[in-house]
Amino acid sequence: MATKKHTAAVIGGSGLLGKHIVSGLLENGSYDVTVISRKGSDESKLAPLVAKGAKVAHVDFAEQDSLVSALKGQEIVISTVGAAALAEQPKLIEAAKAAGVRRFVPSEFGLDSCAPGIREYFPALGYKYAAQDALKASGLEYTFIITGFFLETQFTSVFYWDVPGGKVTVKGDTTQPFTVTSLVDVGRWTAEALLDPASKNATVYLVGENITYDEAVKTVEKATGKRLEVTRASKEELEAAIAGAPNLWASFVDLLLRAISDGRGLTVAKDKAWKSKAHPTPARTLASWAPTASFQAADA
Ligand SMILES: NC(=O)c1ccc[n+]([C@@H]2O[C@H](COP(=O)([O-])OP(=O)(O)OC[C@H]3O[C@@H](n4cnc5c(N)ncnc54)[C@H](OP(=O)(O)O)[C@@H]3O)[C@@H](O)[C@H]2O)c1
C-alpha cells in the first residue's frame, strides 16, 4: 500500500533558495509540493518546478483570505521569501494558523539567528527575529533551519569575489572558519530533516563544510588553476567601511564579514550539525564544485 505523502507548501518557492527547497522535497518522495507564488509573478520561474511535479497556488499577500485558502490542507509551510518580504512573515504565520497548518518553517537559512546574544550583536536581522517570536507565540510547530552561507552565492561579486576576473577582496580576520552549505544540500537536507522527529520545535543546523577565507582562496586557485590577486582589508578598515555606509543595506555584506571575523553566528561546529542518512556527504563542497563553477550569483 502506498504511504500517504505529507503536504508541503513553499512560499516563494520560485526564488534563489526556494527552487532548491522545492526540488529537495520532490526528490525526497515523501511530499506533495505546492509553490505559493504572488499573483502576477514571473511564470517562467515556476514552469521548471511544475515540470518536476510541483503544484502552484497564486496568492495576494495583501489579502489574508487568499493566503488562508491557499494554505488549507497543507501540513507544513516553508517560507523561503527573500529580504523584500521578510516583514510579511507574521502575516503568513497567522494565515497558516488559520488554515490549520501543523508546522511552519520561517525564512532563516543563513546566519545563526538563534545563537545566544545574536539579536544584540546583529540587529539587522530584526524581521527574522520578529518572525521567530510570532511563530513561537502562535502555538504552531516550528523548525528554524540554519545553514551558514550558500556555497553558490558566497564566492561571487556580492562578497567581493571576482573569480572570472582573477581578483578577490577579503576583509577582517581571514583565518576564522565559517560555514558554507550548498543550495543543493540545503534543499535535500531540509526535506529529510523535516521528517525527523527531532526537528519539531527545534533549530536544525545544516553544515556543508567549515572553511576560512584564506583556505578558500587556495582551494579556488587549485581547482581552477588560476592565480587570484587578493586585496586585504584589516579589521579597522572593515569597521570604517561599516561606519561610513550611507544605510544599513549598504553595509549588510560588511556586517556579515565582520560576523565571520568576530566568530559570531556564521560558524556552526560540525558536532552541532544535523546528520543526513540519505545524503551523508555534501553534494558539493568548494573543492568539488569550483572546477566547474561560474562564480556568478545569477547561476545559483
Ligand atoms: N545563507 C545565504 O548565503 C543566503 C543567501 C541568500 C539568501 N539567504 C536567505 O534565504 C532566504 C530566501 O532568500 P532568497 O534570496 O532565496 O529570496 P528571493 O529569491 O529574493 O525571493 C524568494 C521569493 O519570495 C517571493 N516574494 C514574496 N514577496 C515578495 C516581494 N515583495 N518581493 C520580492 N519577492 C517576493 C518571490 O516569489 P514569487 O514572485 O513567486 O511570489 C521570490 O521568488 C532568506 O531568508 C534569505 O535571508 C541566505
Tens-digit pLDDT profile for residues 50-67: 999 999 999 999 999 999
Q: Domain holding 250: CATH number?
A: 3.90.25.10
17 lines ligand 1 (CB under 6 A): yes
Q: Please state the rounded mean pLDDT for residues 129-134.
A: 98
37 lines ligand 1 (CB under 6 A): yes
- In percent, the amount of the chain with pLDDT more than 70 equals 99
81 lines ligand 1 (CB under 6 A): yes
For residue 107, give the C-alpha cell: 525564512
Among 16, 135, 178, 184, which residue has the most ligand 1 atoms within 8 Å of its CB, making it the best to mutate?
16
Neighbours of 1 (CB within 10 A): 3
For residue 13, is it within any domain? yes
| 77 and 23 share one domain | yes
To the nearest 10°, report the CA torsion of 262, 84, 37, 298. Answer: -60
Q: Is the pTM value of this prediction over 0.85?
A: yes
Query: Measured in angstroms, how far is the CA atom of residue 15 from the centroid of ligand 1?
Result: 5
For residue 45, give the C-alpha cell: 520561474
| 161 and 223 share one domain | yes
Strand pairing category for 6-11 and 76-79: parallel
| 18 and 113 share one domain | yes
Q: Give me the chain's average pLDDT, please.
A: 96
Cα separation, 182 vs 55, in Å, equals 25
| 192 and 54 share one domain | yes
Q: Which residues contact 297 (CB under 8 A, 6 or more apart)?
A: 152, 153, 156, 157, 158
Confidence at residue 298, expressed as pLDDT on a 0 to 100 scale? 86
For residue 135, is it within any domain? yes
| 124 and 169 share one domain | no
Confidence tier at 299 by pLDDT (50, 70, 90): confident
Question: pLDDT per residue over 165-218, tens digit each?
Answer: 999 999 999 999 999 999 999 999 999 999 999 999 999 999 999 999 999 999
Query: Measured in angstroms, how far is the CA atom of residue 227 from the centroid of ligand 1?
Result: 34
Total domains in the fold of the chain: 2
Report the nearest atom of ligand 1 relative to the CA of 181: 1
Nearest CA to ligand 1 atom 40: 37
Confidence tier at 1 by pLDDT (50, 70, 90): low
Domain that holds residue 192: 6-148+181-207+267-281
Going 252 to 258 to 259 to 261, the CA torsion angle's sign is positive
| 49 and 155 share one domain | no
